[in-house]
A and B are shown apart, each in its own frame.
Chain A
Protein backbone atom coordinates (compact mmCIF):
# COMPACT_ATOMS: atom_id res chain seq x y z
CA UNK A 1 0.00 0.00 0.00
CA UNK A 2 2.51 2.56 1.13
CA UNK A 3 5.55 3.74 -0.75
CA UNK A 4 7.45 4.65 2.37
CA UNK A 5 11.12 4.04 1.90
CA UNK A 6 12.12 4.27 5.54
CA UNK A 7 11.76 1.51 8.05
CA UNK A 8 10.18 3.59 10.77
CA UNK A 9 8.46 1.92 13.67
CA UNK A 10 5.80 3.12 16.07
CA UNK A 11 8.36 2.91 18.87
CA UNK A 12 10.38 5.65 17.16
CA UNK A 13 7.67 8.23 17.77
CA UNK A 14 7.94 8.74 21.53
CA UNK A 15 11.62 9.76 21.48
CA UNK A 16 10.96 12.01 18.49
CA UNK A 17 8.16 13.74 20.36
CA UNK A 18 10.45 14.11 23.36
CA UNK A 19 12.87 16.02 21.17
CA UNK A 20 10.07 18.47 20.52
CA UNK A 21 8.68 18.82 24.01
CA UNK A 22 11.64 18.00 26.23
CA UNK A 23 9.36 15.69 28.22
CA UNK A 24 9.54 11.91 28.40
CA UNK A 25 5.80 11.39 28.77
CA UNK A 26 3.04 13.06 26.86
CA UNK A 27 -0.53 13.82 27.82
CA UNK A 28 -3.39 12.17 25.95
CA UNK A 29 -4.29 15.50 24.35
CA UNK A 30 -0.79 15.83 22.90
CA UNK A 31 -1.09 12.35 21.43
CA UNK A 32 -4.79 12.27 20.48
CA UNK A 33 -3.88 12.16 16.80
CA UNK A 34 -0.77 10.00 17.15
CA UNK A 35 -2.20 6.59 16.29
CA UNK A 36 -4.35 7.87 13.44
CA UNK A 37 -1.36 9.65 11.95
CA UNK A 38 0.85 6.63 12.39
CA UNK A 39 -1.61 4.32 10.64
CA UNK A 40 -2.17 6.81 7.82
CA UNK A 41 1.50 7.27 7.03
CA UNK A 42 2.47 3.67 7.71
CA UNK A 43 -0.32 1.87 5.90
CA UNK A 44 -2.71 4.08 3.98
CA UNK A 45 -1.16 7.07 2.27
CA UNK A 46 0.75 6.64 -0.96
CA UNK A 47 3.38 9.31 -0.49
CA UNK A 48 7.08 9.09 -1.16
CA UNK A 49 8.91 11.22 1.43
CA UNK A 50 11.66 11.67 -1.14
CA UNK A 51 9.16 13.16 -3.61
CA UNK A 52 6.69 15.08 -1.45
CA UNK A 53 5.53 17.17 -4.42
CA UNK A 54 4.74 14.23 -6.73
CA UNK A 55 1.40 15.16 -8.35
CA UNK A 56 0.19 11.57 -8.04
CA UNK A 57 0.69 11.38 -4.28
CA UNK A 58 -2.20 10.99 -1.89
CA UNK A 59 -2.87 14.18 0.03
CA UNK A 60 -3.11 14.43 3.79
CA UNK A 61 -4.33 17.73 5.22
CA UNK A 62 -3.96 18.30 8.95
CA UNK A 63 -6.83 20.71 9.48
CA UNK A 64 -6.56 20.57 13.24
CA UNK A 65 -3.22 22.34 13.36
CA UNK A 66 -3.22 22.56 17.15
CA UNK A 67 -0.87 20.20 19.00
CA UNK A 68 1.07 19.12 15.89
CA UNK A 69 3.88 17.32 17.78
CA UNK A 70 2.58 13.89 16.83
CA UNK A 71 2.34 15.03 13.19
CA UNK A 72 5.91 16.28 13.20
CA UNK A 73 7.13 13.08 14.84
CA UNK A 74 5.43 10.91 12.23
CA UNK A 75 6.76 13.00 9.34
CA UNK A 76 10.27 12.91 10.81
CA UNK A 77 10.06 9.17 11.44
CA UNK A 78 9.27 8.65 7.77
CA UNK A 79 12.07 10.88 6.62
CA UNK A 80 10.19 13.89 5.23
CA UNK A 81 12.77 16.01 7.04
CA UNK A 82 15.76 15.35 9.33
CA UNK A 83 14.98 14.53 12.96
CA UNK A 84 17.43 17.27 13.93
CA UNK A 85 14.80 19.80 12.84
CA UNK A 86 12.70 18.76 15.83
CA UNK A 87 15.13 20.46 18.20
CA UNK A 88 14.45 24.11 18.94
CA UNK A 89 10.72 23.60 18.35
CA UNK A 90 8.91 26.91 17.71
CA UNK A 91 12.11 28.89 18.11
CA UNK A 92 12.90 31.82 15.81
CA UNK A 93 14.86 29.66 13.39
CA UNK A 94 12.73 26.52 13.66
CA UNK A 95 10.74 25.25 10.69
CA UNK A 96 8.34 23.66 13.17
CA UNK A 97 5.89 25.77 15.14
CA UNK A 98 2.76 25.22 17.15
CA UNK A 99 0.87 25.38 13.88
CA UNK A 100 2.43 23.82 10.74
CA UNK A 101 3.46 25.96 7.78
CA UNK A 102 3.53 24.38 4.32
CA UNK A 103 6.11 26.92 3.19
CA UNK A 104 8.51 25.80 5.89
CA UNK A 105 8.18 22.04 6.12
CA UNK A 106 8.32 19.34 3.41
CA UNK A 107 5.32 17.02 3.48
CA UNK A 108 2.97 19.60 4.99
CA UNK A 109 0.12 20.15 2.51
CA UNK A 110 -1.60 23.08 4.21
CA UNK A 111 -0.64 25.73 6.74
CA UNK A 112 -3.21 25.24 9.48
CA UNK A 113 -3.95 26.58 12.93
CA UNK A 114 -7.15 28.52 12.49
CA UNK A 115 -9.82 25.86 12.90
CA UNK A 116 -12.33 24.90 10.26
CA UNK A 117 -10.32 25.47 7.11
CA UNK A 118 -9.06 22.03 6.11
CA UNK A 119 -12.30 20.34 5.15
CA UNK A 120 -13.31 23.06 2.70
CA UNK A 121 -9.86 23.02 1.15
CA UNK A 122 -9.84 19.23 1.00
CA UNK A 123 -13.20 19.29 -0.77
CA UNK A 124 -11.81 21.57 -3.47
CA UNK A 125 -8.64 19.53 -3.68
CA UNK A 126 -10.59 16.31 -4.24
CA UNK A 127 -12.78 18.07 -6.82
CA UNK A 128 -9.70 19.38 -8.60
CA UNK A 129 -7.86 16.07 -8.66
CA UNK A 130 -10.95 14.34 -10.00
CA UNK A 131 -11.41 17.00 -12.69
CA UNK A 132 -7.88 16.26 -13.86
CA UNK A 133 -8.39 12.50 -13.88
CA UNK A 134 -5.95 12.08 -11.00
CA UNK A 135 -6.99 9.10 -8.83
CA UNK A 136 -5.01 10.31 -5.81
CA UNK A 137 -6.96 10.24 -2.57
CA UNK A 138 -7.46 13.14 -0.18
CA UNK A 139 -7.53 12.73 3.59
CA UNK A 140 -8.24 15.49 6.07
CA UNK A 141 -8.02 15.30 9.85
CA UNK A 142 -10.25 17.45 12.05
CA UNK A 143 -10.96 17.48 15.77
CA UNK A 144 -14.36 17.02 17.36
CA UNK A 145 -14.18 20.55 18.78
CA UNK A 146 -13.01 21.88 15.45
CA UNK A 147 -16.31 20.67 14.01
CA UNK A 148 -17.91 23.54 15.94
CA UNK A 149 -16.85 25.80 13.09
CA UNK A 150 -19.73 26.19 10.65
CA UNK A 151 -17.38 26.10 7.68
CA UNK A 152 -17.07 22.33 8.18
CA UNK A 153 -20.78 21.87 7.79
CA UNK A 154 -20.77 23.78 4.52
CA UNK A 155 -18.07 21.47 3.21
CA UNK A 156 -19.75 18.31 4.52
CA UNK A 157 -22.76 19.08 2.34
CA UNK A 158 -20.73 20.06 -0.72
CA UNK A 159 -18.48 16.98 -0.60
CA UNK A 160 -21.45 14.64 -0.41
CA UNK A 161 -23.44 16.46 -3.09
CA UNK A 162 -20.49 16.11 -5.45
CA UNK A 163 -20.05 12.44 -4.52
CA UNK A 164 -16.39 12.82 -3.62
CA UNK A 165 -15.55 9.20 -2.99
CA UNK A 166 -11.82 9.94 -3.01
CA UNK A 167 -12.21 12.12 0.10
CA UNK A 168 -11.88 10.81 3.65
CA UNK A 169 -12.40 12.94 6.73
CA UNK A 170 -10.97 11.65 9.99
CA UNK A 171 -12.54 13.15 13.09
CA UNK A 172 -10.39 12.60 16.14
CA UNK A 173 -12.92 12.66 18.94
CA UNK A 174 -11.48 13.40 22.36
CA UNK A 175 -14.78 14.75 23.63
CA UNK A 176 -13.55 18.33 23.67
CA UNK A 177 -16.44 20.08 21.90
CA UNK A 178 -17.85 22.40 24.57
CA UNK A 179 -21.48 21.93 23.55
CA UNK A 180 -21.10 18.30 22.51
CA UNK A 181 -22.55 16.53 19.47
CA UNK A 182 -25.91 15.07 20.50
CA UNK A 183 -26.64 11.99 18.44
CA UNK A 184 -22.96 11.45 17.71
CA UNK A 185 -20.52 12.87 15.22
CA UNK A 186 -20.93 10.20 12.55
CA UNK A 187 -24.59 11.08 12.20
CA UNK A 188 -23.68 14.62 11.09
CA UNK A 189 -21.94 13.10 8.09
CA UNK A 190 -24.36 10.23 7.46
CA UNK A 191 -27.29 12.59 7.18
CA UNK A 192 -25.61 14.29 4.23
CA UNK A 193 -24.74 11.03 2.53
CA UNK A 194 -21.28 10.16 3.77
CA UNK A 195 -20.20 6.59 4.46
CA UNK A 196 -19.06 6.48 8.07
CA UNK A 197 -17.31 4.33 10.59
CA UNK A 198 -16.64 5.00 14.28
CA UNK A 199 -13.62 3.18 15.68
CA UNK A 200 -11.23 3.08 18.62
CA UNK A 201 -8.67 5.74 17.78
CA UNK A 202 -5.91 3.69 19.41
CA UNK A 203 -6.65 0.44 17.57
CA UNK A 204 -4.35 0.30 14.57
CA UNK A 205 -6.11 -2.61 12.87
CA UNK A 206 -9.53 -1.00 13.25
CA UNK A 207 -8.21 2.33 12.01
CA UNK A 208 -6.53 0.75 9.00
CA UNK A 209 -9.68 -1.15 8.09
CA UNK A 210 -11.88 1.93 8.44
CA UNK A 211 -9.48 4.11 6.47
CA UNK A 212 -9.18 1.55 3.68
CA UNK A 213 -12.90 1.24 3.18
CA UNK A 214 -14.65 3.36 0.59
CA UNK A 215 -18.14 3.45 -0.79
CA UNK A 216 -18.79 4.35 -4.42
CA UNK A 217 -20.00 7.94 -4.90
CA UNK A 218 -19.85 8.67 -1.19
CA UNK A 219 -17.19 10.53 0.76
CA UNK A 220 -15.95 8.69 3.82
CA UNK A 221 -15.88 9.84 7.46
CA UNK A 222 -13.96 7.92 10.10
CA UNK A 223 -14.56 8.97 13.69
CA UNK A 224 -11.56 7.93 15.78
CA UNK A 225 -12.52 7.97 19.43
CA UNK A 226 -9.74 8.52 21.97
CA UNK A 227 -9.55 9.34 25.68
CA UNK A 228 -11.47 12.48 26.68
CA UNK A 229 -9.30 15.57 26.82
CA UNK A 230 -8.17 16.04 30.41
Chain B
Protein backbone atom coordinates (compact mmCIF):
# COMPACT_ATOMS: atom_id res chain seq x y z
CA UNK B 1 0.00 0.00 0.00
CA UNK B 2 2.82 2.40 0.86
CA UNK B 3 4.45 1.91 -2.53
CA UNK B 4 1.16 2.38 -4.34
CA UNK B 5 0.53 5.54 -2.34
CA UNK B 6 3.91 6.92 -3.39
CA UNK B 7 3.49 5.87 -7.03
CA UNK B 8 0.02 7.37 -7.39
CA UNK B 9 1.04 10.54 -5.58
CA UNK B 10 4.11 10.91 -7.80
CA UNK B 11 1.92 10.56 -10.88
CA UNK B 12 -0.66 13.03 -9.55
CA UNK B 13 2.03 15.60 -8.75
CA UNK B 14 2.73 15.70 -12.49
CA UNK B 15 -0.94 16.11 -13.37
CA UNK B 16 -2.38 18.18 -10.54
CA UNK B 17 -0.58 21.51 -10.08
CA UNK B 18 -2.41 22.12 -6.80
CA UNK B 19 -1.10 18.96 -5.15
CA UNK B 20 1.65 19.20 -2.53
CA UNK B 21 3.24 16.58 -0.28
CA UNK B 22 4.75 17.15 3.14
CA UNK B 23 6.98 14.49 4.64
CA UNK B 24 8.69 14.13 8.00
CA UNK B 25 11.67 11.92 7.10
CA UNK B 26 9.43 8.85 6.61
CA UNK B 27 9.14 7.37 3.08
CA UNK B 28 11.40 10.09 1.63
CA UNK B 29 13.18 7.42 -0.42
CA UNK B 30 9.89 6.73 -2.22
CA UNK B 31 9.46 10.38 -3.15
CA UNK B 32 12.94 11.14 -4.51
CA UNK B 33 11.78 11.29 -8.11
CA UNK B 34 8.78 13.42 -7.22
CA UNK B 35 10.94 15.74 -5.13
CA UNK B 36 13.41 16.25 -7.96
CA UNK B 37 10.62 17.06 -10.42
CA UNK B 38 8.50 19.19 -8.09
CA UNK B 39 10.91 20.75 -5.65
CA UNK B 40 8.46 23.40 -4.49
CA UNK B 41 5.62 20.95 -3.85
CA UNK B 42 7.43 18.05 -2.17
CA UNK B 43 8.62 19.25 1.20
CA UNK B 44 10.45 17.31 3.89
CA UNK B 45 10.38 19.09 7.26
CA UNK B 46 12.60 16.57 8.99
CA UNK B 47 11.52 14.89 12.21
CA UNK B 48 9.15 17.71 13.12
CA UNK B 49 5.57 16.57 13.26
CA UNK B 50 4.06 19.78 14.60
CA UNK B 51 5.63 21.57 11.62
CA UNK B 52 4.40 18.73 9.40
CA UNK B 53 0.76 19.46 10.18
CA UNK B 54 1.21 23.21 10.66
CA UNK B 55 2.84 23.66 7.28
CA UNK B 56 0.25 21.35 5.72
CA UNK B 57 -2.41 23.73 7.01
CA UNK B 58 -0.52 26.69 5.58
CA UNK B 59 -0.26 25.02 2.18
CA UNK B 60 -4.01 24.48 2.25
CA UNK B 61 -4.50 28.11 3.25
CA UNK B 62 -2.50 29.13 0.18
CA UNK B 63 -4.88 27.20 -2.06
CA UNK B 64 -2.96 23.97 -2.53
CA UNK B 65 -4.23 20.44 -1.85
CA UNK B 66 -1.71 19.04 0.65
CA UNK B 67 -0.94 15.47 1.63
CA UNK B 68 0.90 14.94 4.92
CA UNK B 69 2.50 11.57 5.52
CA UNK B 70 4.35 9.75 8.27
CA UNK B 71 3.96 6.91 10.73
CA UNK B 72 0.49 6.83 12.31
CA UNK B 73 1.50 7.70 15.90
CA UNK B 74 3.49 10.67 14.63
CA UNK B 75 0.85 11.82 12.16
CA UNK B 76 -2.20 11.73 14.42
CA UNK B 77 -1.18 11.35 18.05
CA UNK B 78 1.91 13.51 18.44
CA UNK B 79 0.58 16.59 16.57
CA UNK B 80 -3.05 15.98 17.48
CA UNK B 81 -3.69 19.57 18.50
CA UNK B 82 -2.34 20.75 15.14
CA UNK B 83 -4.77 18.35 13.47
CA UNK B 84 -7.57 19.76 15.61
CA UNK B 85 -6.71 23.47 15.39
CA UNK B 86 -4.59 24.03 12.27
CA UNK B 87 -6.76 21.89 10.03
CA UNK B 88 -10.14 21.43 11.72
CA UNK B 89 -10.69 24.73 13.50
CA UNK B 90 -9.47 26.67 10.45
CA UNK B 91 -11.81 24.52 8.36
CA UNK B 92 -9.05 23.63 5.89
CA UNK B 93 -8.91 20.58 3.68
CA UNK B 94 -5.98 18.17 3.75
CA UNK B 95 -5.15 14.51 3.25
CA UNK B 96 -3.31 12.68 6.01
CA UNK B 97 -1.82 9.35 4.95
CA UNK B 98 -0.30 7.10 7.60
CA UNK B 99 1.68 3.90 7.60
CA UNK B 100 2.30 1.54 10.50
CA UNK B 101 -1.37 0.97 11.28
CA UNK B 102 -2.02 -0.65 14.65
CA UNK B 103 0.94 -3.00 14.88
CA UNK B 104 2.37 -3.49 11.41
CA UNK B 105 5.83 -3.41 12.98
CA UNK B 106 5.68 -5.27 16.30
CA UNK B 107 9.47 -5.35 16.34
CA UNK B 108 9.35 -1.61 17.07
CA UNK B 109 7.08 -1.93 20.09
CA UNK B 110 4.20 0.20 21.36
CA UNK B 111 5.80 3.57 20.54
CA UNK B 112 5.23 2.79 16.87
CA UNK B 113 1.73 1.37 17.28
CA UNK B 114 -1.41 3.44 16.83
CA UNK B 115 -4.46 1.54 18.02
CA UNK B 116 -6.20 4.82 18.87
CA UNK B 117 -5.67 6.90 15.73
CA UNK B 118 -9.15 6.45 14.24
CA UNK B 119 -10.80 6.93 17.63
CA UNK B 120 -8.87 10.18 18.07
CA UNK B 121 -9.79 11.49 14.62
CA UNK B 122 -13.35 10.52 15.45
CA UNK B 123 -13.42 13.18 18.18
CA UNK B 124 -13.11 15.81 15.43
CA UNK B 125 -15.89 16.81 13.05
CA UNK B 126 -16.01 16.35 9.30
CA UNK B 127 -13.22 13.88 8.69
CA UNK B 128 -13.50 11.18 6.07
CA UNK B 129 -11.57 8.08 7.20
CA UNK B 130 -10.49 5.42 4.74
CA UNK B 131 -9.04 2.09 5.88
CA UNK B 132 -8.24 0.39 2.58
CA UNK B 133 -7.72 -3.36 2.49
CA UNK B 134 -5.82 -3.59 -0.80
CA UNK B 135 -3.38 -1.42 -2.79
CA UNK B 136 -5.93 -1.02 -5.59
CA UNK B 137 -8.31 0.50 -3.07
CA UNK B 138 -5.57 2.93 -2.02
CA UNK B 139 -5.30 3.97 -5.65
CA UNK B 140 -9.02 4.73 -5.96
CA UNK B 141 -9.42 6.41 -2.58
CA UNK B 142 -6.30 8.54 -2.95
CA UNK B 143 -7.26 9.86 -6.38
CA UNK B 144 -10.70 10.67 -5.07
CA UNK B 145 -9.27 12.47 -2.04
CA UNK B 146 -6.90 14.55 -4.17
CA UNK B 147 -9.80 15.66 -6.37
CA UNK B 148 -11.83 16.75 -3.34
CA UNK B 149 -11.21 19.58 -0.86
CA UNK B 150 -12.24 17.90 2.38
CA UNK B 151 -10.34 16.48 5.35
CA UNK B 152 -9.35 12.89 4.71
CA UNK B 153 -7.39 10.36 6.74
CA UNK B 154 -6.11 7.35 4.80
CA UNK B 155 -4.74 4.59 7.00
CA UNK B 156 -2.35 2.32 5.11
CA UNK B 157 -1.26 -1.08 6.36
CA UNK B 158 1.05 -3.90 5.41
CA UNK B 159 -1.90 -6.22 6.10
CA UNK B 160 -3.99 -6.70 2.97
CA UNK B 161 -6.78 -8.81 1.54
CA UNK B 162 -6.12 -10.99 -1.49
CA UNK B 163 -8.59 -9.19 -3.72
CA UNK B 164 -9.62 -5.55 -3.92
CA UNK B 165 -13.21 -4.54 -3.36
CA UNK B 166 -15.05 -1.81 -5.18
CA UNK B 167 -14.60 1.30 -3.06
CA UNK B 168 -15.04 5.03 -3.32
CA UNK B 169 -18.77 5.50 -2.90
CA UNK B 170 -18.46 5.67 0.88
CA UNK B 171 -20.84 2.76 1.29
CA UNK B 172 -20.30 -0.60 2.92
CA UNK B 173 -20.25 -3.46 0.41
CA UNK B 174 -22.41 -6.52 0.95
CA UNK B 175 -20.02 -9.45 0.64
CA UNK B 176 -22.33 -12.18 1.86
CA UNK B 177 -25.93 -12.32 3.09
CA UNK B 178 -27.25 -14.49 5.89
CA UNK B 179 -30.09 -14.51 8.39
CA UNK B 180 -28.02 -14.13 11.55
CA UNK B 181 -25.88 -11.23 12.81
CA UNK B 182 -24.19 -8.74 10.49
CA UNK B 183 -20.41 -8.68 10.62
CA UNK B 184 -18.75 -5.43 9.55
CA UNK B 185 -15.20 -6.19 8.41
CA UNK B 186 -13.04 -3.08 8.17
CA UNK B 187 -10.22 -2.88 5.62
CA UNK B 188 -7.58 -5.60 6.03
CA UNK B 189 -9.86 -7.64 8.30
CA UNK B 190 -12.05 -8.88 5.43
CA UNK B 191 -10.18 -12.02 4.37
CA UNK B 192 -9.87 -13.33 7.88
CA UNK B 193 -13.51 -12.52 8.66
CA UNK B 194 -14.60 -14.49 5.58
CA UNK B 195 -12.39 -17.39 6.63
CA UNK B 196 -13.67 -17.25 10.20
CA UNK B 197 -17.35 -17.15 9.21
CA UNK B 198 -17.30 -19.41 6.16
CA UNK B 199 -19.90 -21.76 7.60
CA UNK B 200 -21.70 -19.34 9.91
CA UNK B 201 -25.09 -17.87 9.02
CA UNK B 202 -24.05 -14.25 9.03
CA UNK B 203 -24.15 -11.25 6.72
CA UNK B 204 -20.71 -9.81 5.97
CA UNK B 205 -20.27 -6.16 5.11
CA UNK B 206 -16.97 -4.68 3.96
CA UNK B 207 -16.02 -1.17 5.03
CA UNK B 208 -13.03 0.60 3.46
CA UNK B 209 -14.53 3.95 4.43
CA UNK B 210 -15.48 4.09 8.11
CA UNK B 211 -16.21 7.80 8.49
CA UNK B 212 -18.78 8.82 7.60
CA UNK B 213 -20.18 5.54 8.96
CA UNK B 214 -22.57 3.97 6.48
CA UNK B 215 -25.47 3.42 8.86
CA UNK B 216 -27.93 3.18 5.97
CA UNK B 217 -26.42 0.05 4.48
CA UNK B 218 -26.02 -1.55 7.89
CA UNK B 219 -29.64 -0.88 8.64
CA UNK B 220 -30.76 -2.03 5.20
CA UNK B 221 -29.09 -5.44 5.33
CA UNK B 222 -29.69 -6.11 9.00
CA UNK B 223 -31.44 -9.46 9.49
CA UNK B 224 -31.11 -10.35 13.18
CA UNK B 225 -30.57 -7.13 15.18
CA UNK B 226 -27.06 -8.12 16.08
CA UNK B 227 -23.80 -6.58 14.84
CA UNK B 228 -20.19 -7.66 15.01
CA UNK B 229 -17.59 -4.98 14.38
CA UNK B 230 -14.18 -6.27 13.32
CA UNK B 231 -11.89 -3.25 13.24
CA UNK B 232 -8.11 -3.39 12.74
CA UNK B 233 -7.59 -0.62 15.33
CA UNK B 234 -8.89 0.00 18.86
CA UNK B 235 -11.82 -2.27 19.59
CA UNK B 236 -15.10 -0.42 19.98
CA UNK B 237 -14.02 2.57 17.88
CA UNK B 238 -17.27 2.37 15.90
CA UNK B 239 -19.53 1.04 18.65
CA UNK B 240 -21.21 4.39 19.18
CA UNK B 241 -21.94 4.63 15.46
CA UNK B 242 -23.68 1.26 15.54
CA UNK B 243 -25.68 2.33 18.58
CA UNK B 244 -26.75 5.49 16.77
CA UNK B 245 -27.70 3.52 13.67
CA UNK B 246 -29.86 1.13 15.71
CA UNK B 247 -31.11 3.65 18.27
CA UNK B 248 -34.74 2.52 17.96
CA UNK B 249 -33.95 -1.17 17.92
CA UNK B 250 -33.06 -3.49 20.80
CA UNK B 251 -29.85 -5.01 19.55
CA UNK B 252 -26.69 -6.87 20.45
CA UNK B 253 -23.19 -5.68 19.61
CA UNK B 254 -19.80 -7.39 19.68
CA UNK B 255 -16.87 -5.07 19.04
CA UNK B 256 -13.61 -6.77 18.13
CA UNK B 257 -10.30 -5.05 17.54
CA UNK B 258 -7.00 -4.17 19.13
CA UNK B 259 -6.51 -3.38 22.82
CA UNK B 260 -5.60 0.18 23.90
CA UNK B 261 -2.06 -0.92 24.74
CA UNK B 262 -0.50 -3.59 22.59
CA UNK B 263 1.24 -6.44 24.36
CA UNK B 264 4.81 -5.97 25.57
CA UNK B 265 6.16 -8.45 23.08
CA UNK B 266 7.85 -8.11 19.70
CA UNK B 267 7.41 -10.69 16.91
CA UNK B 268 5.14 -10.39 13.89
CA UNK B 269 1.69 -8.95 13.22
CA UNK B 270 0.42 -12.54 13.13
CA UNK B 271 1.71 -13.09 16.67
CA UNK B 272 -0.25 -10.06 17.83
CA UNK B 273 -3.36 -11.04 15.87
CA UNK B 274 -3.35 -14.35 17.69
CA UNK B 275 -2.80 -12.68 21.05
CA UNK B 276 -5.84 -10.42 20.63
CA UNK B 277 -8.09 -13.01 19.00
CA UNK B 278 -7.92 -11.24 15.65
CA UNK B 279 -6.62 -14.20 13.66
CA UNK B 280 -9.19 -16.38 11.85
CA UNK B 281 -9.35 -18.86 14.74
CA UNK B 282 -9.84 -16.18 17.36
CA UNK B 283 -12.44 -14.35 15.29
CA UNK B 284 -14.26 -17.60 14.64
CA UNK B 285 -14.41 -18.37 18.36
CA UNK B 286 -15.75 -14.92 19.29
CA UNK B 287 -18.22 -14.64 16.44
CA UNK B 288 -19.50 -18.22 16.92
CA UNK B 289 -20.31 -17.53 20.57
CA UNK B 290 -22.07 -14.31 19.59
CA UNK B 291 -24.08 -16.04 16.87
CA UNK B 292 -25.10 -18.68 19.42
CA UNK B 293 -26.13 -15.97 21.91
CA UNK B 294 -23.44 -17.06 24.34
CA UNK B 295 -21.99 -14.37 26.53
CA UNK B 296 -18.55 -13.24 25.44
CA UNK B 297 -17.67 -12.47 29.01
CA UNK B 298 -17.26 -14.86 31.86
CA UNK B 299 -19.92 -14.35 34.52
CA UNK B 300 -18.11 -16.30 37.22
Contacts and interface: CB of A to CB of B under 8 A. Distances in A.
A127 B43 contact: yes
Contacts, number: 107
B193 to A, nearest CB: 40
Given A111-B90, A125-B59, A151-B82, A120 B54 contact: yes
B195 interface: no
Contact of B59 (A109, A116, A124, A155): A124
Bin chain B's interface residue count.
Answer: 20 to 34
Given A117-B54, A117-B86, A120-B57, A154 B62 contact: no
Interface in A89-113: 102-103, 109-111
A158 B51 CA distance: 8
Given A121-B57, A128-B58, A55 B51 contact: no
Interface string B41-78: 10101101011011111111111101000000000000
A23 interface: no
Contacts of A213: none
A230 B57 CA distance: 35
A161 B63 CA distance: 22
Bin chain A's interface residue count.
Answer: 20 to 34
A124 B63 contact: no
A128 B59 contact: yes
Pick the most buried of A116, A117, A150, A155: most chain B CB atoms within 10 A of its CB. Answer: A117
A123 interface: yes
Interface string A23-61: 000000000000000000000000000000001000100
Contacts of B85: 111, 114, 117
A127 B59 contact: yes
B13 to A, nearest CB: 11
B61 A124 contact: yes
Interface stretch (A1-9, A72-80, A129-137): A129-137
Contact of B54 (A111, A124, A131): A124
Given A124-B54, A132-B64, A155-B54, A111 B59 contact: no
Given A125-B59, A127-B43, A157-B46, A103 B51 contact: no
Given A124-B58, A131-B41, A117 B20 contact: no
A66 to B, nearest CB: 15
A123 B20 contact: no
B90 A155 contact: no
Contacts of B48: 154, 157-158
A129 B59 CA distance: 8
B62 A110 contact: no
A10 interface: no
B63 A128 contact: yes
Contacts of A122: 58
A124 B46 contact: no
Interface in A143-165: 150-151, 154-155, 157-158, 161-162
Interface string B246-271: 00000000000000000000000000
Contacts of A225: none
Top 10 A-B pairs, shortest CB-CB distance: A120-B54, A124-B58, A128-B62, A124-B55, A125-B58, A154-B51, A131-B40, A154-B48, A151-B50, A128-B59
26 contacts: A55-B63, A103-B91, A111-B89, A119-B54, A120-B50, A120-B55, A120-B57, A123-B55, A124-B57, A124-B60, A125-B58, A125-B59, A127-B43, A127-B55, A127-B59, A128-B58, A128-B63, A131-B59, A131-B62, A131-B64, A151-B50, A151-B54, A154-B48, A157-B48, A157-B51, A158-B55
Given A117-B82, A151-B50, 8 more contacts: A110-B90, A120-B57, A122-B58, A124-B59, A131-B40, A131-B64, A132-B62, A155-B55
Interface of A: 55, 59, 102-103, 109-111, 114, 116-117, 119-132, 134, 150-151, 154-155, 157-158, 161-162
